Amino acid sequence: MSRTLIIIPAFNEAPALGRVLASLPKKNSFSLCDVVVIDDGSTDATSTIAKSKNVKVIKHLINRGLGAVLATGFAYARKKNYDFVITFDADGQHKAIDIPKILKPLYLNKADVVIGSRLLNQTSMPFIRKIVNYFSNIFTYILFGIWTTDSQSGLRAFNKKAFSSINIKTQRMEVSSEIFKEIQKNKLYLTEISVQSIYTKYSLNKGQKISNAPNVIWKLLLHRFS
């Protein structure tokens, strides 16, 4: 049976992490599932909670950012020879029942990368998040020539070809758009699957902020033309 690594980026996620880890499946119709929590320099009980759930923990000594976390997770997946990788946020926004849905196109060899889109057929996303996401989608398309309905989704799936060829160079939130550059460069086949999201006060305080958009745009421009 195939093996999937679920990568959980975590920075000070003690309030939600235990519940998220408890929801994750050990296997599904397509694969056995392991979990690795990448603790990105947390100063709370994130690592302790993760270890109490008997999952692998890799800890960054300082906070390096989402891009660095995903690079660490992809490197671990390559080292351990996994067949698929899933990225799954630690804030409780995603639903574990969507994991088989985004794995299926990979298992059937119909895609190399699957984006779990919160906007494909959904309208529950708060308005300000929709605005941020929409302009992020446009900017991603202008820079990298790939249209997506949800460039900032944290729920993604990659087959071995994809996570072995994607070379993450950015350190922080700009990685969500950089992934599309790598999809284009490596001629990976992309598809989107509609997923459901849970928005709470806690999860809305996490993730991409509109105030951070200029910084993300500047870093992507530097990366695009470097």
Judged on CB neighbours under 10 Å (0-12, 13-18, 19+), 151 is buried
CB-based contact 177:156 (threshold 8 Å): no
| pLDDT digit string, tens, across residues 154-206 | 999 999 999 999 999 988 888 998 999 999 999 999 999 999 888 877 777 76
**What pLDDT, on the 0 to 100 scale, is given for residue 201?**
77
Neighbour count for residue 163 (Cβ, 10 Å): 25
pTM of the full predicted structure?
A: 0.90
Please count the structural domains in the chain.
Answer: 1
**What pLDDT, on the 0 to 100 scale, is given for residue 225?**
45
**What pLDDT, on the 0 to 100 scale, is given for residue 220?**
53
* Domain around 169: 2-224
Q: For residue 192, give the CATH number of its domain.
A: 3.90.550.10
| pLDDT digit string, tens, across residues 102-120 | 999 999 999 999 999 998 8
Mean pLDDT computed over 66-93? 97
